[in-house]
């Protein structure tokens, strides 16, 4: 695992650090995982109408239904492999900051996006500006892709970096980092799991959203 800090800080002068956690590459059954996720995509789209899509301009997509499901509620064996990988990396991330964060009341929102040819996820951010700093962290886990990258930006777009999407690679980043994907030109679907981790009720989702079902408690120790 690697963890690194980058400069410069925000061009707004807010002194906000930019960092990314990059995982090792997970070995998993990509074919079986894609089969499961694409079938589940059909079921979710059939069951739920589109809702807010987070401003990514895919109003009829699975991403427009992220409020209605949580990937960590899936019981399929292939999902369990990915859930464990996400949990393990988040746990390692917090170990970089011993005693700094209260991780006893974490919660997670976790969904996945499926892009077909000519589609992209537009420039967007997961956290509003009132939550800058230690409110929550976000992540991307690549499941399937064909020669694409995800682009990350400083808050004024002055600084920019991109990371090539590799199946089995997980990126953690501050939720206030704007980002977008490239246009997907591949013949096969591009699949990416995304998530936000909230620290507690005070700076996280609170009871009302927890009851909605798409934000659930998140324990660093895997439940048996």
205 occurs within a structural domain: yes
Q: Angle between the 30-47 and 77-95 helix axes, to the nearest 10 degrees? A: 100
pLDDT 10s digits, 10-58: 444 455 667 788 899 999 999 999 999 999 999 999 998 888 665 666 8
Edge-to-edge strand list for the sheet holding 18-22 = 2-6, 18-22, 170-174, 136-144, 190-198, 107-115, 215-217
224 occurs within a structural domain: no
47 occurs within a structural domain: yes
pLDDT less than 70: residues of the chain: 1-17, 52-57, 127-135, 200-213, 222-224
For residues 116 and 162, the answer to whether their CB atoms sit within 8 Å is no
Domain region containing 35: 18-183+190-217
pLDDT for 55 equals 60
Q: What is the rounded CA–CA span in Å between residue 114 and residue 34?
A: 10
- Looking up residue 100, the CATH number of its domain turns out to be 2.60.120.620
111 occurs within a structural domain: yes
148 occurs within a structural domain: yes
pLDDT for 69 equals 92
CA 28 to chain CA centroid, nearest Å: 18
Q: What is the rounded CA–CA span in Å between residue 97 and residue 220?
A: 14
**Domains held by the chain: number:** 1
């Amino acid at each position: 695992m690697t963890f690194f800090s980058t400069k410069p800080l925000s061009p707004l002068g807010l002194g906000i650090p930019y960092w990314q956690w990059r995982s090792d590459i997970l070995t998993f059954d990509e074919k079986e995982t894609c089969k499961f996720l694409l079938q589940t995509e059909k079921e979710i789209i059939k069951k739920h109408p589109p809702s807010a899509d987070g401003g990514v301009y895919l109003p009829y997509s699975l991403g427009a239904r992220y409020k209605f499901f949580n990937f960590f509620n899936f019981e399929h064996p292939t999902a369990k492999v990915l859930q464990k990988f996400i949990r393990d990396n988040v746990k390692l991330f917090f170990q970089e900051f011993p005693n700094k964060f209260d991780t006893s009341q974490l919660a997670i929102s976790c969904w996945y996006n499926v892009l077909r040819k000519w589609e992209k996820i537009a420039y967007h951010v997961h956290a509003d500006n009132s939550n800058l700093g230690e409110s929550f962290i976000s992540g991307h886990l690549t499941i399937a892709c064909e020669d694409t990258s995800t682009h990350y930006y400083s808050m004024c777009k002055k600084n920019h970096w991109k990371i090539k999407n590799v199946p089995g690679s997980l990126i953690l980043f501050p939720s206030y980092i704007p980002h977008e994907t490239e246009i997907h030109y591949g013949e096969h679907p591009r699949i990416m799991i995304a998530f936000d981790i909230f620290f507690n009720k005070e700076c996280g989702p609170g009871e009302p959203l927890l009851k909605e079902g798409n934000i659930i408690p998140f324990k660093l120790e895997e439940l048996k």
